[in-house]
Structure 1
């Protein structure tokens, strides 16, 4: 399992949190995704043989948020 912390701009509320966590948790290979609104980031634990970090970023951006690279 791989652990990655992704900086995300634009998340401000509980709906933002659930949107991002939900999108990531739907991906095959994601074990957990936990958003910290205070830190503007999401901690993701995933199987790198099933899902790539670029797919994680795309899932976040598809929800309307900006990934800080």
Structure 2
């Protein structure tokens, strides 16, 4: 199975509310030979919006304002 097809299945599991372990277990049951690793599944679940320029600037300002953070 292609990487993109697994990404679609992983996204389906995320939308169904499954976590990484449940997703891996389900994929192992359905596709025992070609399942990606747990870390690959975890990386697919991670939202891309977390690392943006706005967030980086906001965190930088927070640290400069209060250095004990």
Give the TM-score of the pair, scaled to structure 1. Answer: 0.34
TM-score (norm 2): 0.34
Structure with larger Rg? 2
- Return the structure number with greater strand share: 1
> Larger % of helix: which?
2
Highest relative contact order (Cα 8 Å, sep 6+), 1 or 2? 1
